[in-house]
Structures are given as C-alpha cells and as structure tokens.
Structure 1
C-alpha cells in the first residue's frame, strides 16, 4: 500500500463557557497534530464563505493551501472513498 504523509491541523473555536472542558480534553488527549484555539474567532472572520453547517468544516488543502476537498471521511464511507481517491489511496 502506498504510504501517504498528511499533516492534520485542528482549529477549535470554543465559546468562553467551553474553555474549561476544552483544556481538560486537551490535557488528556494524546493527539499528535497541531491544535489552534481560536478564542477570538479569527479563522471564522477571515473566512466568511465557510458555511455554518458542520459538514463543511473539514477540508483538505493541497501544498499551495488551496481547498481540494470538503467533508470529513471519519463517519461517512462515501466521503471516505472520495477522500481516498483525492489523496491517492484506493
């Protein structure tokens, strides 16, 4: 199987009331990816074209930071298959 290297970056924009829970989760999570806490909603404000629906909040960027795929492959087999083709995995 072809080995693919993908860097995952998570941008989390919690409400102030959620910060304690977020900090607890980050403290116990062994996530090996970058996580940005965007408490000032900078990402949202600089990207107003991103819809509010959560299904549009996961996207794959190419090496030039252009969006090439929208959707999360985590819980959807159809999206997972398309995602796999996009990154070159069958």
Structure 2
C-alpha cells in the first residue's frame, strides 16, 4: 500500500490495485514471488489496469503520454525487508 501511495495513487486506487494484485498473485507478499506487473492506462476502460509487465507496452504507453506504474514484487519485497530490518 505504501508503495502505491508513494507513486501518487489515491487511497482508493491503491486499494483497488492491491485487491487485483492479490487476485492475480495470492502469494504476492512471499519473498519467492518475482513476478512483475504494471498498472497501465487502459484507454477503453478509462482506468488503470493491472497487467503483466511488458517493456514494449510500457514504452508505447509512456510515449503516448499515458501513465505506467511498475509493481515489481521482488523489488517491493526487498524494500519492505530492508525497512523491517531497520526497525529491529
């Protein structure tokens, strides 16, 4: 949640993204999960959609001025792990 909020998503949008992430990857908080997703602007739905990360699709979206927010579970887990270690 913190990551989603830190990239500028509203609380509602961040909560929806996490719900979709949990539906697609129930073990997303597991350190072994290395799947990479992105929140990508779906112009037909007129909303952010959670899809598997695709570099070409991300670049095309950015070139057209649309947002792309990476959700790389391995990196998010590393950030969480380092924060937890810093608290101990």
TM-score range, shorter chain: under 0.3
Higher helix proportion: 2
TM-score, L = length of structure 1: 0.25
TM-score, L = length of structure 2: 0.26
Q: Which has the larger radius of gyration?
A: 1
Greater relative contact order structure (CA < 8 Å, 6+ sep): 2
